[in-house]
Amino acid sequence: MSAAVPDKERIHFLPVGKGSVEHISQSPPMTSPVTATTDWIYCLNKFRFFPLGKQNRFVPDRDFTLKSYIDAIQNNIKTCSDTALSISMPLKHTLCEHYGVTKNTHPIRNYLDNLLQEARLISELVPRRCTISYLHWNKNIHQLLDDAEMTELMFHLNKHFSLLPEGKGRYVIELRFEHITDNTIPLIKGLGFTHICLETPTFTTEPQARQFVRQMAMMRNYGFETISASLALDDDIDIADKKRQIDVLTESRPDSICLLDSIDRYRDTTAKDQSASSPDSDLIRQLISAGYTKKGFCKYSNCDKTDKWYIHDLIAMGLSANSIIDNILTRNADQLDQYIKCIREKQLPFQYGGYLIPQNG
């Protein structure tokens, strides 16, 4: 491990409570190792190096190599009977810019083929005795893949890894409200997902709000263990509209609500200070009146279903994916051509790695 890293190369993690989203500040040119892809993972889980009341910093190690990453996975598997997987896809325009649009090339299909190859490469490091107790798909997967491709992806994950049967594992999928149809819910239930993270829009019409409440009821009827919702309340939305948004959310009774606008605005204040003096303190009181309690940096919950989630380690696959193995954080290639080149050479698309170091805030 590097003995010391200049401040401009440090990535600082803010104090974390149960179920909070990480915020990272850094100076260029280094790429941030935690992206929106993993926001939900941090929101719903407690990692051992994100303890309450502590600050964590990421210290990159220039001597950390692909072999170091492989060794970390294999050494950790020797002592752990289970692990977690996270699957990510980039935005569609990223794929189209790389591949272009031709008769013989489909950018999403090509990316999926490479992703499946990465899963096979990772599986060679994870023995069948090691079960997958947690699986996470980011929101772009459902947005970009059709039903057959989603089924294909889950088939290959089951083929390469020992996924726990339904009822024993936590299988989480992110969905965007505007991409959900009546066929979506039975599909993801059939694929084995047990938990939904729903990204909700700013409702602009009454029919849209009613449709959201109806879809939430449908999810409940299919028996998902938890349904969590996130809502980004921009500064340009007036307080009356924000309250209406909260009313729609609380009417549908998600197990937890994440107000994403609070991540940056209140990052230097305690939870007590936020409730007392933030510009949106009325919204917090509105959530509390609806039966929600503050669980983390921007998360409010009406139950304790997600508080018990705990992941020791996370192996992530896909472009720009971030893995956490013990106190190690690694980053996959963030350029599509680099990612594909590695996969075609039968090599994991490792970009860089380093260490998460807890420190008192």
| Residues 128-158 pLDDT 10s | 999 999 999 998 899 999 999 999 999 999 9
Residue 338 pLDDT: 95
* Pairing state between β 11-13 and 24-25: antiparallel
Q: 85 near 135, Cβ under 8 Å?
A: yes
CB contact at 8 A, 54 and 361: yes
**What is the predicted pLDDT for the residue at 24?**
30
At 318, the amino acid letter reads G
**Residue 172, beta-bridge partner list:** 136, 195
Residue 360 in any domain: the answer is no
Q: Domain range spanning residue 132?
A: 78-263+278-324
* 50 assigned to some structural domain: no
- CATH code of the domain covering residue 251: 3.80.30
Query: In Å, what is the CA distance from 294 to each residue of 49, 225, 300?
Result: 21, 20, 4
pLDDT at 22 over 50: no
**Residue-level pLDDT at 165:** 87
- Determine, yes or no, domain membership for 21: no
Number of folded domains that form the chain: 1
pLDDT at 30: 38
- Supply the pLDDT for residue 98: 55
Residue 45 lies inside a defined structural domain of this protein: no
Q: Is 346 left (phi over 0), alpha (psi -120 to 50) or beta?
A: left
- Point out the least confidently predicted range of 37-46, 106-115, 215-224: 37-46
Mean pLDDT of 199-221: 86
Residue at 317 is within a domain: yes
The whole-number pLDDT of residue 32 equals 38
Cβ count within 10 A of residue 327: 16
Residue 33 has what pLDDT?
Answer: 38
The answer as to whether 65 is a domain residue is no
**For residue 306, what pLDDT band results from cuts at 50, 70 and 90?**
low
Residue 202 covered by a domain = yes
The pLDDT confidence band at residue 90, using thresholds 50, 70 and 90, is: confident
The kind and range of the H/E element at 209 are helix 206-221
Please say if the pLDDT value at position 180 is more than 70.
yes
Quote the tokens at residue 258: 């994440």
Per-residue pLDDT band for 199 (boundaries 50, 70, 90) equals confident
**Amino acid at residue number 201:** P
State both tokens at 185.
């819910």
Residue at 162 is within a domain:
yes
Closest CA to 38 of 259, 264, 268, 320: 320
Residues in the chain: 361
Give the tokens for residue 109. 């299909």
* 188-202 average pLDDT score: 90
CA distance linking residue 336 with residue 94, whole number of Å: 8
Q: Are 45 and 66 in contact (CB under 8 A)?
A: no
